[in-house]
């Protein structure tokens, strides 16, 4: 039976809090006494509904922010909207509304949902990336990059998404060559595009990962892998009349060189293409060119191939082919019909058969390695690089897999690239006083793709800011990752109309102390944020030199929320809710066949019919129970298997919290005297100690380990302890009251309505909101005491309550008894002749 309707409490308290003009948290009225904590969760895309992932991450963010506020910190806990992007544009085409209208409507809907979950964000810091007041500065950021040589235009073979009709960054294409968004197989096209020079920071972006101690190792590994730092050497080769460099991580294998391989678009290959087009036709499978390359160390001539495995954008697009020591070279060499290989590195502990390759990177150089013979491969590598450098044949080099960031998108709903193209002046940046370049107002979009802005002449045709002649605006918009690359900064100075942000305002508030978000952003978003942050630090927009321009101190990636999924066991077909029935024993039985359905938890999706809507759960059980349930079901980094049925445990517990308030209120009708701890009974000591230990654990979990599921189980233990002592005559009302009030305070970040309600039941009206309280101070534990009979000259004089092991320490025992009022009265300054310590009895013989 439900005793309390928790949903009613939400409405009641939300109304009262708002009346006080303090958003959803009266604690906002209390001035902070400590330094800043900037804690935020990744802002959402305004799709219109808050999903379970949002519920989870924003609950965590809200609970922590409320906790820090109670501790006296100046908490920065903003919220905003990642509001540009394709879904709005597609919805606009499908529904005949403007993307702006659609987006704004969704934002207002989601704000209502956030309020329903009692999330208390800093709405005065709200940013919306599609708002001209925001994207003006996204455009300025682009222009700053342009001005400092970080934004440039280049004709490039790019990834084209044929479904969404737009260019994609390399980062947005998965390992199978599909678009991250549409899933379409990406095509290659040659187009003139804008790039941002993230590779200028490749070295720092890699090296500074080592300084991010509070980032998950997994995320750092993913970033490191993406940046792909590789150290080796570049070596110059003569190829016919031309020269080329090759990049190698195994320079010592130069004595094994048997051929040189080029990428199909290597300049030498391109030149041959013109004179011998019949060869070019075979580039895809690999072909020998009518050329020879010279080994720069031995002077030997080797054949030259175009080989499909050579990547055009990596290193120099040229590889020194060593079939004996590299698996790819070996495969290619065999595929070209060659059989003989030349080995110069051998395993340390065994010898090679004739023509047997050895791909290990350690090993020993054999006699064919000339002046490297006998050295370990590692030492040989250093030696040969020294040799190359001193003969000007090559040098040490570090390369990166990371490519520059392609930011042009042929879409409408994004920040227009603030550039004007003039036939006379070239690319001209839009002057500051003409920013923002506004998106034209449209009632509806004509169709998917194909640069919608290019079809709006009023937008395109413009006067050149430099010569005043006729010119054209750039009709591409920026990748939306550009919008989200700097919002963490804008939150700190959101209303600045003069500049992106004021370095004096933002620097003291940076960096972000804690950033919560999903692992799906481990590479793209976080790498772009780090890049832009380092850039802004470099040009003096914030003083981040102490942290190498790293914007985020601690990163927490919460796990996904999975939904209960029903499938037909034989076929694996996902069942719709009306296809099965849940029996009393918990089994799901398929209506048609009467067979038992298989149950599993999987990523929520429409096709699996396993989605759950947070708003439904809140409407049924109230925000407090929903919040506690989300936290309780799994440690924050783990997958959460969403099972709404289990929320009854939470409801029963919260009901108990409220029941205690009613019970205590009865007892509070009698006047209560505060009780000194040294007069506590055994039961009172046990209440005090257990509650304080739990409070300690709760505080640690919230401030250090973020083990929020443990916080909930600690609250439950705490509640049960008080509940079980409620009718114990040995526990005074005073002691219960103090412990219970601590619980209400400590509970309030998770369950603000229940805490308020219980507080109101407990106290006579008008009562100060319990949400304004400081975080409860942790009081010391009280050692359990036992009675000791004190005898003086053969007579029992008084009973002393002391620690259990008192008589083990003679000195301490005597001095403690002597300093009590009774000790002073019966013994005082009299000369002590003898003291006998017996268990539970202390005998004094005095003169
Ligand atoms: C000679 C050699 C001998 C190599 C050997 C390896 C083993 P990472 O670690 O990924 O940086 N390479 C260089 N440029 C390339 C390109 N554009 N496309 C494909 N492969 C390329 O790999 C560096 C190694 O990959 C280089 O070292 C080169 O092959 C090859 F026993 O040079 B090595
Ligand atoms: Zn001009």
Residue nearest ligand 1's atom 7 by CA = 326
* Residues 257 and 295 sit within 8 Å (Cβ to Cβ): yes
Residue nearest ligand 1's atom 32 by CA: 248
Q: How many other C-beta atoms lie within 10 A of the C-beta of residue 226?
A: 18
Q: Where is 559: in which H helix or E strand?
A: none
CB 153 within 8 A of CB 167: no
Go through the domains of the chain in sequence order and give each one's CATH number. Answer: 29-130+488-558 (3.40.50.620), 139-197+404-481 (no CATH), 229-400 (3.90.740.10), 561-632 (no CATH), 645-772 (1.10.730.10), 785-846 (3.10.20.590)
Dist. CA 744–CA 202, nearest whole Å: 50
Is the beta carbon of 249 within 6 A of some atom in ligand 1?
yes
Pairing of the two strands 259-262 and 301-306: parallel
Q: What is the pLDDT of residue 66?
A: 98
> What local confidence, expressed as pLDDT, does residue 668 receive?
87
Instruction: Provide Rg for the chain, Cα atoms.
Output: 36
In short, whether 341's Cβ falls inside 6 Å of ligand 1 is no
Running DSSP on this structure, what letter comes out for residue 844? E
Three-state secondary structure call for residue 677: helix
pLDDT of residue 744: 98
Helix 614-621 to helix 647-667 angle, to the nearest 10 degrees? 30
Contact 632, 650 (CB under 8 A): yes
Ligand nearest to the CA of 312: 1
Find out whether 233 and 251 touch, Cβ atoms under 8 Å: yes
Check residue 221 and give its pLDDT.
97
CB contact set of 845 (below 8 Å; sequence gap of 6+): 793, 832, 833, 834, 835, 836
State the closest ligand 1 atom to the C-alpha of 313, by its place in the atom list counted from 1: 17
Which residue ranges of the chain lie beneath pLDDT 50? Answer: 1-2
Tell me the CA–centroid distance for residue 428 and ligand 2, in Å.
Answer: 7
DSSP symbols for 156-193: EEEEEETTTTEEE-GGGB-TTSBBTTT-PBPEEEEEEE
Q: Which ligand is nearest to the CA of 258?
A: 1
Atom in ligand 1 nearest the alpha carbon of residue 251? 1
pLDDT at 449: 58
Q: What is the pTM of this model?
A: 0.87
Residue nearest to atom 22 of ligand 1 (CA): 249
pLDDT of residue 189: 85
Model confidence pLDDT, tens digit, residues 626-655: 999 999 999 999 999 999 999 999 999 999
Amino acid 127: pLDDT = 98
317 in ligand 1 pocket by Cβ < 6 Å?
Answer: yes
The confidence score (pLDDT) of residue 2 equals: 45
Are the beta carbons of 337 and 286 closer than 8 angstroms? no
């Amino acid at each position: 039976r439900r005793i309390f309707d928790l949903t009613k409490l939400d409405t009641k308290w939300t109304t009262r809090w708002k009346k006080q003009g303090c958003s959803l948290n009266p604690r906002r009225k209390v001035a902070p006494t400590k330094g800043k904590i900037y804690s935020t969760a990744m802002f959402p895309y305004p799709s219109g509904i808050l999903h379970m992932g949002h519920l989870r991450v924003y609950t965590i963010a809200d609970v922590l922010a409320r906790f820090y506020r109670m501790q006296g910190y100046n908490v920065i806990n903003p919220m905003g909207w990642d509001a540009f992007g394709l879904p709005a544009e597609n919805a606009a085409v499908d529904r005949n509304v403007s993307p702006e209208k659609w987006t704004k409507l969704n934002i207002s809907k989601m704000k209502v949902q956030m309020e329903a979950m009692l999330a208390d964000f800093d709405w005065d810091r709200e940013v919306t990336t599609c708002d001209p007041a925001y994207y003006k500065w996204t455009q300025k950021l682009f222009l700053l990059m342009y001005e400092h040589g970080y934004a440039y235009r280049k004709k490039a073979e790019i990834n084209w998404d044929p479904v969404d009709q737009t260019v994609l960054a390399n980062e947005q294409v998965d390992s199978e060559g599909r678009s991250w968004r549409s899933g379409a197989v990406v095509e290659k096209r040659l187009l003139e595009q804008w790039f941002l020079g993230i590779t200028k920071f490749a070295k720092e972006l890699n090296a500074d990962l080592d300084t991010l101690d509070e980032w998950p190792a997994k995320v750092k590994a993913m970033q490191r892998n993406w940046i792909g730092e590789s150290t080796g050497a570049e070596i110059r080769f003569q190829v016919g009349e031309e020269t080329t460099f090759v990049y190698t991580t195994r320079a010592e294998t130069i004595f094994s060189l048997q051929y040189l391989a080029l990428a199909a678009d290597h300049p030498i290959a391109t030149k041959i293409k013109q004179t011998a087009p019949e060869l070019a036709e075979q580039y895809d499978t690999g072909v020998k060119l009518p050329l020879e390359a010279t080994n720069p160390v031995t002077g030997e001539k080797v054949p030259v191939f175009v080989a499909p495995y050579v990547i055009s954008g990596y290193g120099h697009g040229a590889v020194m082919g060593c079939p004996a020591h590299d698996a790819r070279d070996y495969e290619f060499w065999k595929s070209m019909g060659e059989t003989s290989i030349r080995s110069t590195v051998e395993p340390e502990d065994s010898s090679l058969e004739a023509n047997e390759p050895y791909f290990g990177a350690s090993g020993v150089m054999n006699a064919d390695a000339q002046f490297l013979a006998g050295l370990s491969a590692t030492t040989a590598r250093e030696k040969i690089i020294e040799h190359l450098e001193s003969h000007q044949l090559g040098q040490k080099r570090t390369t990166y897999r990371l490519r520059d960031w392609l930011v042009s998108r042929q879409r409408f709903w994004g920040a227009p690239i603030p550039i004007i193209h003039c036939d006379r002046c070239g690319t001209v940046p839009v002057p500051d006083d003409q920013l923002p370049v506004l998106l034209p107002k449209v009632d509806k979009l004509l169709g998917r793709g194909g640069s919608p802005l290019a079809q709006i002449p009023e937008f395109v045709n413009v006067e050149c800011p430099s010569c005043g002649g006729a010119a054209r605006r750039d009709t591409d918009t920026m990748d939306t990752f550009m919008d989200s690359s700097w919002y963490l900064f804008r939150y700190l100075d959101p209303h600045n109309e003069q500049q992106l942000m004021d370095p004096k305002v933002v620097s003291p508030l940076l960096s972000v102390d804690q950033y919560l978000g999903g692992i799906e952003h481990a590479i793209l978003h976080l790498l772009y944020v780090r890049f832009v942050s380092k850039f802004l630090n470099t040009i003096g927009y914030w003083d981040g030199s102490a942290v190498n321009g790293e914007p985020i101190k601690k990163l927490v990636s919460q796990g996904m929320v999975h939904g209960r999924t029903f499938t037909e066991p034989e076929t694996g077909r996902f069942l719709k809710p009306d296809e099965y029935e849940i029996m009393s024993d918990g089994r799901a039985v398929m209506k048609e066949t009467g067979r038992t359905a298989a149950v599993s938890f999987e990523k929520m999706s429409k096709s699996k019919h396993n989605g759950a809507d947070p708003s439904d759960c809140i409407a049924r059980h109230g925000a407090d129970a929903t919040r506690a349930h989300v936290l309780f079901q799994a440690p924050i980094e783990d997958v959460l298997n969403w099972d709404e049925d289990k929320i009854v445990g939470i409801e029963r517990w919260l009901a108990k919290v409220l029941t205690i308030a009613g019970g205590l209120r009865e007892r509070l009708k009698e006047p209560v005297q505060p009780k000194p701890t040294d007069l506590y009974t055994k039961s009172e000591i046990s209440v005090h100690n257990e509650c304080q230990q739990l409070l300690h654990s709760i505080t640690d979990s919230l401030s250090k380990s973020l083990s929020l599921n443990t916080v909930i189980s600690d609250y439950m233990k705490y509640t049960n302890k008080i509940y079980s002592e409620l009718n114990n005559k040995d526990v005074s009302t005073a002691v219960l009251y103090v412990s219970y009030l601590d619980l209400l305070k400590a509970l309030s970040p998770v369950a603000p309505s229940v805490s308020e309600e219980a507080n109101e039941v407990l106290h006579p009206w008008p009562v100060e909101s319990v949400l304004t309280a400081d975080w409860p101070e942790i009081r010391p534990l009280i050692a359990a005491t036992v009675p000791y009979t004190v005898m003086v000259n053969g007579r029992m004089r008084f009973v002393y309550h002391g620690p259990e092991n008192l008589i083990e320490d003679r000195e301490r025992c005597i001095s403690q008894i002597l300093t009590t009022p009774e000790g002073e009265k019966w013994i005082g300054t009299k000369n002590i002749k003898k003291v006998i310590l017996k268990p539970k009895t202390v005998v004094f013989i005095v003169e």
